Structure 1
C-alpha cells in the first residue's frame, strides 16, 4: 500500500510539472530479452501516454528506439510469440532520454494460435520492402513455402507456381540474402518447408549500387527473400514422390536440402507428363528437369552462391485463332481483314543454365562482387496448319507446314566494386559487364495458297529454306562518386558507357523441283551497333520521414547499321536530356509513399532494322527499316503501402504512366487485288500506357481465422499503326476487379473463395470502326479439409463465363480437381495420395491480345481429365 501511495504522489507531482512546462519531446531506448538474457528480435514494443500511442519492433540484437514521446510518464509493453506480454509504467525524471534494460519476457504456456497476432507484427512496411512474419500465417505441418505465400495479402501464386506481388512478377528468390535456384521461382518455393522460414520479404531491388549508396533509378526487380529461423540452420530434409495415372500419365519428383549454418545445398529433380504443379499450361507437356543450388559463407569476408538448372520440355499445342485487323485506305474508308486459323505444333526444347555470385568484403572499406552466368539451349519443332483470310470480296486459303531447329548460347559476367572513404557517406562505385550471345536458326517452310476473287481461283506453291546466324557482343562500364554535402544531403556524379554490336547473316533458298536455289534478294549480311554515353548528376536528401533524389542525365546515342551485302551504311544520332527523380515519404513505421521518374533508350531489333524482305508468308511480307531511331521511354510510377501491426490489415496501391517517343510501330500496305499486305516499321509519337492496381486485405478476427481481400487492376494502352499511309490509333482498356474470402481454421480447414470480373475494350480513332469488347466472369473455391490427424481432402473448382470472344469450342469452361491424401508411418513420413484432374473434361485456354490495329482471340488445348495415384515419402531433421 505504501508503494502504491508513493507511486500516486510521484504521478501527481510530475503531472503538475508537465502541465506547467513547455511541450517537449522525449526518447526511449532499450533492449528486449528473454529470461536467459538472449535478445528477442522482432518483438513488438509499444508506448502509451495519455491518448497517444507509438510502436516499433526490436532490431536483430533486441534493441529498439522510440522518439517524439510527448509525456514523461508512460506505459511500455513488449510482446513476442511464445512469451507473456511485458507491461510496466516508467517516468523520465532526468534529461530527455531514458534507457530501459529490465524488459525480460517469460515463456508463455499459451498455444501458437492464441498469441500469433499479439506477439508478432504480421506485416512490416519499409521504403522498398514489405515483410511478412511467417509465424503470423501458420500452415499445415509438412507444407512448403508456396502454401504460406497463398495466405499473404497482395500475393498471388498461380497453379504453375508463378508468384506475383501487387501484379508484378517475382523474378528471383533469395535465402538469407543469397540467390536460390537462380530465376526458377516455382522450384524454389516448393523446395523449402514452411516451418523453417522466419520472414518473407518482398523487395523492390534496384541493384547493388542502390543497396550501398541509396541512389535508385530505373525499374526495380521484384525479389522474394526468405530468412531462416536460427535454430533451423542446421539440418536436412528430403521429399520423394512417384505417381502413375491413366492415359499413360506419370509424375515423379525428388527434392532435398541440407543446411549447416550458412552452408546450404539443395537439389530438385522432376520427370512428368502430367500437370506437374497442377497448372493450366498450354498444350500437352512432358518435362524432365534437374536443379542444384549451393551457397556458403566461407568467412566473414568471402561468400558465394551458385545454381545449375536443366530443363527438357516437350509440348504439343493445338490452337485456333481469330484475328481482326482494322485497316483504312487513303480516303480513310474502313476495311476489315479477318483471319480464321488453326495450327498443330510440336516442340522439343533443351536448356542448360548455370549462374552464381561471388562476394568478397575485402575490408570494411572495400567490397567486390562478381556474377557470371551461362546458358545453352537447343530446340526443334514442327507445325502444320491452315488459315482463311477474307477482305472485301477477296479470300485466300493457306495450308502450311514448318520445320525449325535452333542452337543458342548466352554468356554474361557482371562486375561490381565499391570503396568507402573514411568520411561517412563518401564512396566510389564502379561496375561493368561483358556479354556474348550466339544463335543459329534453321527453318524449312512450305505454303500452298488458293486465292478466290469473283469466283475465280488460282493457286501458288512456295517452299523456302532459311539459315540465320546471329552474334552479339555487349560491353558496359560505369562509375559513380558520392560526396556528402551536409548532414543529410549527398551529391552523386556518374558516367555510364554501353556498346552493343550485332552481326546477322541470313541465307535463303527456294526449293524448285527438289533443288535448292540460292535467293540473293532474300539473303543478307547486316551489322549494327548501338552506343550510348550517359553522364548524370544526382542530389539526395535523407531525412527521418522524407527521402528524395533529384537528378539530371545527358545521353547521346548512336545507332549505326551496315548492310554488308549491298555496301550501304546508315547512321542515326539522338540526344536525350533525361531528368530523374525519386520521392519517398514515411508517414509512420507502417505507412509510406514513393514516386519515381526515369528515362531510357530502347534499340530496334535485328528484324526491324534489316532492309531485306521475309516472304516466308506471302500474306504478310515483312521488310525492316535501317533508318529507325531508338525509342526513348519516360516512366513515372508511384507506390503506397500501409499495414496495421495489430490487426494485420494491409493496403497497397501502385500507379504507372509510360510515354514512348519515337515509338517503333508497324506500317501496313495492302497489295491491290489480293488479301496480302506488306509490313515495315517507322518511328512515331503518341504511344502511352497507364496502369494501376490496388489490394486491401483485412482479417475479420485477431487470430486471422477469416480474412477478406479486395483487389483490382486497370490498364490503358494507346496503340498506333499506319495502313496505306493513314494513321490509326486504337485505345485498349482492360480492367479486373476481384473479391477474396479466406478461412483458416487450424486442423479443420484452409480454403479461399474467389470471384472476379474483367473487361477488355478497344475503340479506334475513326468512328467508322465499331468498338470491340470482351468480358469474363470467374468464380472458384480452392482449399483443403482435414479429418482426424492423417486424412486431407483437397479441392479446386473454377467456373468461367466468357462473352465477346470470336472463336473457341468451349466458351465457358468448368474445371474441378479433387484429391485425397492419407499420411502414415512415424512422424507422418509417408503419404498416399489419389487425385482427379479436370473431372468435367473442359480444360481449355481462352485469351484476347490487342496490339497495334490487331485483335487476336485464341483458344488452345490443355491437358484434360485424368486420375493419378501417388506415394510420397519425407525425411527431415533440424536443430542439434
Structure 2
C-alpha cells in the first residue's frame, strides 16, 4: 500500500503543476499584444525614421520606423493604448486604439500632414518635388512630367544631380547607379540601361536614389564601407495591375538596322518583364567605342507569393560584335641613376574585332519566417565566351633608339562565375536586440588561349636588326572564395546599442599557364614561361561597434582587429612564400539631420586589397618584348584608409537641391610598378612592389534651382575634381606624379508642356600632371564642350528632336586629335487611336565627325587615346505601343 500511495501522489502533483503552469502561461499570453503598422504622408509616401510611441497608463514604448515606413511592437501588455507618430517637418499624429478581437492589430491609417510653417505658404500639388533622408534622395514623379509614351530614362534627364547618357548609363551625385529596383525588388539585375527603358514614366510614383549598405544595414542600422548606389522605382497603386508593350523596327542606309520589343505585365505584386534587341547601330544612343552589333534578350520576374515569401529573378543574354579602330599615344616618364629625365614615346595603331556571348542569371528569395526571423538567399551565375583578333603596329622612340612593331594577335576565352549569398536575421523580443549571420560562396573558372605574332625592327643609331616572335599561351584560372560571419547587437539604453561582429574569409586561386614558342612551323613547350601557381588569402576580422540613434543625431564608433595571411605556392619549382600582417582598424560613421530636408553624413573605414594572381605569379609574360612583365610572389596585401562626407539639402517650396560629396583615400603597402630599362633598346622589364605615399582625393557638387513655381525653367551648376598621387619606380628611382583633373558645368533647362523641352549645357575640364622631379615637364590637356538637346512639339502628333554637341580639345599628345561637332536630328509623327503608332526618321552624326577622345594617367604613364565611333547614317523606324493599367 505505501508504494501505491507514492505512485498516486507523483502523477497528481505533476498534473496539478502542469495545469498551473498552463494557466499562468495562458494568462501571460493573453496580456501580450502585437502592434504593427506603417507611417506615411498625405501622398502615400512612406516615412522612414519616424518616431512611433505607444502608451497605456505607466506602460510605454517607442520605436523608429524601418526604411519602408513600417514598425512593430511585438509584446505590449494592454489592448487599449494611445499612439503618437512624429517626424521633422510634419504635424504630430495622436490617436487612441483598442484591440477588440485577437491579440494583434495592423494600423494603416497613420498619415502625417506637412507642418504649415515648413512650406512657407507655398504648396506644390500637396507634395514636395524632392525629399532628402540620410541615405535616400527621393523625387516625386509628378513634379517632373514627361511626354506621353516616354520611358523612365527621359524623366531621369530632368532630375537634379542625376545624369543619364545616351547609352543608358546613370550616375547619381557622381557615382554610377549599379542596380534598378521596382518596389524594392531587383529589376533586370545589373542591366541599368535595359531597366530604365522598360518601364513607362507615367506609371512611376517616386524615384528613390538609395545608398545601399546591404541587408544587415537595413535590418540593424549598422552601416560600414562604401554603399552601392541603387535606383528604386515605386509604382502608382492604381497602375499595379495592367500591361505595357512597345515594338519598334528601323532600317537605314549603310545596312543599319535597329529592332526592339519590350513588354511588362503587372498583377499586384507579380510582375513579368521582357526586353529583346537586334541592332547594329551601337545599341541605343549611337555612343560607345567602335561599331557594335548587338543581339540581346532579357527576362525579369518578381512576385510576392504571400506575406512571408517573395522572390525576384532575371536572365540576360547578350551577343556583342565590335570593331574598334584606335590610335594611342603613350608617354612613359623615366629617369636614370643620375636623376636625368628620359621620355619614352609610343605611337600605336590598332584594329580590334571582338565577338562576345554572355549569359547571366540571378535573383533573390526572401522568406519572412515570422515577425522575428528573416532569411534571404541570392544566387548569381554568369557564363561568357569570347573570341577576337587584333592587328596593328607601333613606333617607339627613346633618346636615339627606335623600334617599329607589327603585330597580329588572336584569342579565345571562356569564363564561368557562380555565387550564392545567404543572410539570416533574428530579432529578439527585446527591442533593438538582433542576431545576424551570413555566408557567401563564389566559384570562378576562366580559360584563355592566345596566339601572338610580333615582328620588331630595331634601330640604334645606324645599326638595324629585326626579330620575329610567334607564341601560343594557354592559361586557366580557378578561384574559390568563402566568407562567413555573424553580428550581434545589444541595446544598452533607449538610444544606445553595442554590436559585436566576426567574419572569416578565404580566397583560394589556382593559375596555370602553358607557353609554346613557334619554331620552324611547330610549337615547342617553353618551361621557363610556363608554371602552375596557387595562392590563398585568409582574413579573420573581429569587431566592436558602439551606436547612438537619435531623432537628429546618429553615430557609430567601432574598432576591428584583422590578422591577414597571404600564402603562395609555386608548384613549378616547389617554392612557397608566406606573408603575414595584422591590422587594427578603427571605423566611424556620423550622421546629423539638421532638418527633414538637410543632412550630413561622415564615414571612415579601412579594408584590405589582395594582390592579383598576375601580380603574384613569379613567371614572365613576354608576349610584348618591349614590356616583359614578371610577378612578385613576395607582395603584401594593400591596406586602404577611406574617409567620405556627403551633404544633402532640398528646399520643399522651390524644389532647390544642393548635393555635395567628398572622399579621401590613402593606401599603405600600395602595389606599384618597378620598370627597369634594357640597355641599348627601348624595351623595359616590369614587376611590382609595395610602397607607401599613394593617396587620392575627390569631390563633387550639384546645385539645381527652378526659376519658376512649375519648374518651367531650371538652372543647374555642377562640378567635380580629383587629385591622385601616383607612384612608380624606374631603375629603383622613385617618381611621384600628381594628377589633377577637374570639371565645371552649367545647365539651363526649359520644360513647357506640349510646347518644348530642351537643355543647354556647357562645360570646361582640365587634366594636368606634375612630377616630383623638376626636370620633368608638366603635362596638361583641356576640353571645352557645349551643346543643346531637346524636343519641340507641334500639334498633338508631331515632334522634332535635336542633339548638338561641340568639343574643343587642346594639349593632347596625339597629333591627329579632332574637335568633333556632333548633330543628331529626328522627326516623329504619331497616328492611330490614342497615338498608338508612330513613324520616326532620324539622322545621326550629320557632320560625320564622331570619335572618342580620352586621357588616362597612372603610375608614371600618360595615355592619350582616340577611337572610332559610329558615323553618319539615317534611319526610318515604325513604333507601335499598347498599354492598359488599372481602369484605363
With the length of structure 2 as denominator, give the TM-score of the two structures.
0.88
Distance 1:556 1:419, change over 3 A: same
Distance 1:678 1:786, change over 3 A: same
SS at match of 1:521: helix
Separation in 1, partners of 2:386, 2:501: 42
The equivalent residue for 1:596 is 603
Deviation, structure 1 residue 532:
0.2
The equivalent residue for 2:7 is none
Deviation, structure 1 residue 76:
8.2
Instruction: Give the conservation status (yes or no) of the 8 Å contact 1:732–1:850.
Output: yes
Instruction: Give the conservation status (yes or no) of the 8 Å contact 2:286–2:870.
Output: no
Separation in 2, partners of 1:721, 1:740: 39
What is the count of residue pairs matched by the alignment?
Answer: 799
1:380-417: CA deviations, max 9, x gaps? Answer: 00000000110011010000000000000000000000
2:443 to 407, 416, 436: 436
Separation in 2, partners of 1:478, 1:32: 35
SS at match of 1:211: helix
Distance 1:546 1:457, change over 3 A: same
Instruction: Give the conservation status (yes or no) of the 8 Å contact 2:92–2:112.
Output: no
The equivalent residue for 1:687 is 694
Does residue 213 of the first structure (1) align with residue 211 of the second (2)? no
Does residue 263 of the first structure (1) align with residue 267 of the second (2)? no
The equivalent residue for 1:372 is 379
The equivalent residue for 1:657 is 664
The equivalent residue for 1:93 is none
Deviation, structure 1 residue 343:
0.4
The equivalent residue for 1:8 is none
Separation in 1, partners of 2:818, 2:728: 31
SS at match of 1:210: helix
The equivalent residue for 1:84 is none
1:87-128: CA deviations, max 9, x gaps? Answer: xxxxxxxxxxxxx999999xxxxxxxxx98242110000000
Separation in 2, partners of 1:214, 1:103: 24
1:607-663: CA deviations, max 9, x gaps? Answer: 100000111111000000000000000100000000011100000000000000000
Distance 1:180 1:342, change over 3 A: same
Deviation, structure 1 residue 275:
3.2
Deviation, structure 1 residue 280:
1.5
The equivalent residue for 2:788 is 781
Deviation, structure 1 residue 276:
2.5
1:230 to 223, 229, 237: 237
2:405 to 398, 406, 410: 398
Separation in 2, partners of 1:64, 1:875: 46
Unpaired runs of at least 5, structure 1: 1-29, 34-38, 45-57, 70-74, 79-99, 106-114
Distance 1:774 1:59, change over 3 A: closer
Instruction: Give the conservation status (yes or no) of the 8 Å contact 1:41–1:60.
Output: no
Matches within 5 A, 1:496-645: 496-645=503-652
The equivalent residue for 1:837 is 844
Distance 1:324 1:868, change over 3 A: same
Separation in 1, partners of 2:841, 2:183: 36
Deviation, structure 1 residue 342:
0.3
The equivalent residue for 2:728 is 721
Deviation, structure 1 residue 809:
3.1
Separation in 2, partners of 1:213, 1:728: 46
The equivalent residue for 2:367 is 360
Distance 1:67 1:720, change over 3 A: closer
1:414-462: CA deviations, max 9, x gaps? Answer: 0000000000000100001111000010000000000001121000010
The equivalent residue for 1:25 is none
The equivalent residue for 1:277 is 284
Does residue 795 of the first structure (1) align with residue 795 of the second (2)? no
The equivalent residue for 2:44 is 41
Matches within 5 A, 1:90-169: 117-169=124-176
Does residue 861 of the first structure (1) align with residue 868 of the second (2)? yes
Instruction: Give the conservation status (yes or no) of the 8 Å contact 1:250–1:273.
Output: yes
Q: Which runs of 4+ in 1 moved over 3 A?
A: 30-33, 58-69, 75-78, 100-105
Instruction: Give the conservation status (yes or no) of the 8 Å contact 2:283–2:292.
Output: no
Deviation, structure 1 residue 279:
3.6
Deviation, structure 1 residue 68:
9.1
Distance 1:102 1:843, change over 3 A: closer
1:183-203: CA deviations, max 9, x gaps? Answer: 000000000000100000000
Does residue 476 of the first structure (1) align with residue 483 of the second (2)? yes
SS at match of 1:641: strand
The equivalent residue for 1:345 is 352
The equivalent residue for 2:22 is none
Deviation, structure 1 residue 805:
0.7
1:17-58: CA deviations, max 9, x gaps? Answer: xxxxxxxxxxxxx9999xxxxx642499xxxxxxxxxxxxx9
SS at match of 1:117: coil
Does residue 170 of the first structure (1) align with residue 177 of the second (2)? yes
Deviation, structure 1 residue 478:
0.3
SS at match of 2:615: helix
Distance 1:325 1:102, change over 3 A: closer
Separation in 2, partners of 1:222, 1:355: 19
Deviation, structure 1 residue 364:
0.3
Separation in 1, partners of 2:648, 2:627: 48
Separation in 2, partners of 1:823, 1:272: 23
1:533-585: CA deviations, max 9, x gaps? Answer: 00000000000110000000000000000000100000000100000000000
Distance 1:59 1:116, change over 3 A: farther
Distance 1:201 1:76, change over 3 A: closer
1:129-183: CA deviations, max 9, x gaps? Answer: 0000000100001000001110000000011010000110000000000000000
With the length of structure 1 as denominator, give the TM-score of the two structures.
0.89
2:741 to 718, 734, 737: 734
Separation in 1, partners of 2:803, 2:546: 52
1:338-364: CA deviations, max 9, x gaps? Answer: 000000000000000000000000000
Distance 1:460 1:636, change over 3 A: same
SS at match of 2:529: coil
Separation in 1, partners of 2:261, 2:541: 49
2:467 to 460, 479, 489: 460
Separation in 1, partners of 2:848, 2:70: 56
1:763-794: CA deviations, max 9, x gaps? Answer: 10000000000000000000000000000000
Instruction: Give the conservation status (yes or no) of the 8 Å contact 1:40–1:60.
Output: no
Separation in 2, partners of 1:692, 1:384: 40
Distance 1:246 1:31, change over 3 A: closer
Distance 1:186 1:813, change over 3 A: same
Distance 1:428 1:60, change over 3 A: closer
The equivalent residue for 1:82 is none
SS at match of 2:153: helix
Separation in 2, partners of 1:225, 1:59: 12
Unpaired runs of at least 5, structure 2: 1-37, 48-66, 72-82, 94-108, 115-121
Instruction: Give the conservation status (yes or no) of the 8 Å contact 1:699–1:706.
Output: yes
Separation in 2, partners of 1:695, 1:725: 43
Separation in 2, partners of 1:873, 1:649: 38
Deviation, structure 1 residue 877:
0.5
The equivalent residue for 2:27 is none
Deviation, structure 1 residue 808:
5.3
Question: Once superposed, what is the RMSD of the aligned Cα atoms?
Answer: 2.2
SS at match of 1:135: helix
